[in-house]
């Protein structure tokens, strides 16, 4: 069934047909294994759009995308992600939990960023990374030594920021005695082997001073 749907979408794209309702999304276009090989993650969501194209050749993509994805020798550079505004036209209806096939009509405000940092992909911060970053932030903000204790948290999630390389925007819920746990945000930046607190809601922490 999936193969039939993909074939129908590809035939529609080849004929220039789509469901209508073309619209702009802000996201990250990247190369992936499998079909379709070009995909767009829509910023601020968990949605991933599959860019349908003939023979997976990139030739039907807008010129500025093709230019950004080819090196000086004309070879495809898969180590670059493209952030920007993409005009996409759906080739099939959107369904929860499925990659929606689209055709890309145009793109603008493209920013090319390397997928790698020191030869390795920058992974999102873990809960441990976040805990260390916020305690270090409290020490730096107060100028006090001692042991920092911060409130418990849950529902920790991070998405890659479009503002700077190695930067992630994270959301979490901080413990409270009454009612639902308070939702907060934090921006973390990769600084060498460590994560640094960039900005966001101030964490609730205390510092135990020792003699």
In the chain, % helix, strand, coil (3-state, to 5) comes to 20, 45, 40
- Between CA 114 and CA 77 the distance in angstroms is 10
**122-208: CATH, from 3.90.1200, 3.40.50, 1.10.530, 3.10.450:** 3.10.450
Domain boundaries defined on the chain: 2-115, 122-208
pLDDT-flagged residues of the chain (< 70): 1-20, 71-78, 115-121, 145-146, 162-163, 209-211
Provide the pLDDT for residue 8.
41
Q: pLDDT tens-digit profile of 7-31?
A: 444 444 444 555 668 999 998 898 8
CA distances from 24 to 4, 42, 175, 182 (A): 27, 10, 38, 32
The per-residue pLDDT for 38 is 92
Inter-residue contact 176 to 182 (CB < 8 Å):
yes
Give the tens place of pLDDT for each residue, 44-75.
778 899 999 877 778 889 999 998 887 555 55
Helices (DSSP H) in the chain: which residue ranges? 2-14, 63-68, 127-142
Q: How far is CA 10 from CA 14, 52, 57, 90, 96, in A?
A: 6, 6, 13, 12, 21
């Amino acid at each position: 069934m999936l193969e039939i749907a993909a074939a129908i979408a590809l035939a529609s794209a080849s004929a220039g047909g789509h469901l209508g309702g073309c619209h702009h999304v802000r996201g990250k276009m990247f190369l992936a294994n499998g079909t379709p090989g070009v995909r767009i993650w829509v910023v601020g969501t968990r949605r991933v759009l599959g860019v349908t194209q003939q023979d997976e050749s990139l030739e039907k993509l807008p010129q500025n995308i093709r230019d950004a994805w080819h090196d000086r020798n004309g070879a495809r550079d898969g180590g670059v992600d493209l952030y920007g505004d993409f005009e996409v036209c759906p080739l099939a209806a959107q369904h929860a939990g499925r990659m929606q096939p689209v055709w890309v009509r145009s793109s603008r405000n493209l920013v090319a960023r390397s997928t790698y940092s020191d030869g390795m992909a920058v992974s999102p911060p873990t809960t441990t990374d976040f805990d260390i970053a916020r305690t270090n932030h409290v020490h730096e903000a107060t100028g006090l030594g001692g042991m920092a204790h911060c409130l418990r948290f849950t529902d920790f999630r991070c998405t890659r920021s479009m503002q700077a390389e190695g930067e992630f925007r994270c959301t979490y819920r901080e413990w409270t005695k009454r009612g639902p746990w308070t939702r907060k945000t934090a921006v973390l930046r990769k600084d060498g082997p460590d994560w640094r607190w960039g900005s966001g809601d101030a964490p609730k922490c205390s510092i135990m001073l020792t003699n």
